[in-house]
Structure 1
Amino acid sequence: MFSPTLTILLHLCLAALTFAAPLANDKLTTMGNAEQMGAGGGVLGFAVLILDILVWVEVIKSTRPPSHKLLWCVLVFLLPVVGPILYYVFSDRAKHNPEAGGYEQIA
């Protein structure tokens, strides 16, 4: 499946990662005030993740050209906090939303 050179290169990269940690410092340092911080960061991070996923779903379901969809998805991926705000302010969502017109008249 892989060529032998690629396999050896991959093994060398993984070996380099294992030796990247400093060997002399055998103490593990952690934050001492973890219980005082609370869960605010986790809740805020989860809210940002949910907003990003909602923007991605709305962008993918829109009628934009694929290049514009890719641009919005990359923008939201690279700027997870500011990206959804930029999308909701500047994207002209009503023009590209196929469900914005409500029900379609049959007769």
Structure 2
Amino acid sequence: MAINSLLFSILFHLCLAPLGLAAPVSTESLDSSWHYGTGGGLIGLIILVLDIIVIVEVIKSSRPPVHKLLWCLIVFLFPLVGLIVYYIFSNRSAYQRGSGYEVLS
């Protein structure tokens, strides 16, 4: 029981870590506002692109619809942690669809 609460605590802190790393919004004049981000930046853009790739991969897979929905919700609600968890625990090779063509013998 203690291990479950420890794992939950670690997962919870990993989900909140990107919020602490977000850049502050500038309260100064508009001329120097390009020095500050709104919490996204280049890293946020990269994570967004990777999350979109994961969601498209999940939707195109041969998983049952409930599993597709759960994976999409995990990646949507926890973008960075969901992405990592998907690539580690999803068993992607078992659910990949073929290219649509059969090999002629």
In structure 2, how many angstroms separate the alpha carbons of the residues matched to 1:40 and 1:65? Answer: 35
Structure 2 alignment gaps of length 5 or more: 1-24
In structure 2, how many angstroms separate the alpha carbons of the residues matched to 1:37 and 1:30? Answer: 6
Q: After superposition, where does 1:10-89 map in structure 2 within 5 Å?
A: 30-32=26-28, 34-37=33-36, 41-89=40-88
- Output the TM-score relative to the length of structure 1: 0.61
- Output the TM-score relative to the length of structure 2: 0.62
1:94 aligns with 2:90: no
Q: Give SS of 1:52's match.
A: helix
Aligned to 1:22: none
Q: Give SS of 1:81's match.
A: helix
Point out the more displaced range, 54-63 or 43-52: 43-52
Point out the more displaced range, 38-47 or 54-63: 38-47
Report the AA paired with residue 48 of structure 2.
L
Which protein shows a greater Rg?
A: 1
Q: How far apart are residue 34 of structure 1 and its match?
A: 3.7
Check whether the contact 2:58–2:68 (CA below 8 A) recurs between aligned residues: yes
Q: Give SS of 1:105's match.
A: coil
In structure 2, how many angstroms separate the alpha carbons of the residues matched to 1:46 and 1:78? Answer: 16
Aligned to 2:103: 105
* Equivalent residues, number: 78
The 1:50–1:93 alpha-carbon spacing in structure 2 relative to 1, beyond 3 Å, is same
Report the AA paired with residue 69 of structure 2.
L
Q: How far apart are residue 79 of structure 1 and its match?
A: 0.1
Q: How far apart are residue 38 of structure 1 and its match?
A: 6.7
Q: What RMSD over aligned residues (CA atoms) do the two structures have, in Å?
A: 2.8
How much identity, in percent, do the aligned residues show? Answer: 51
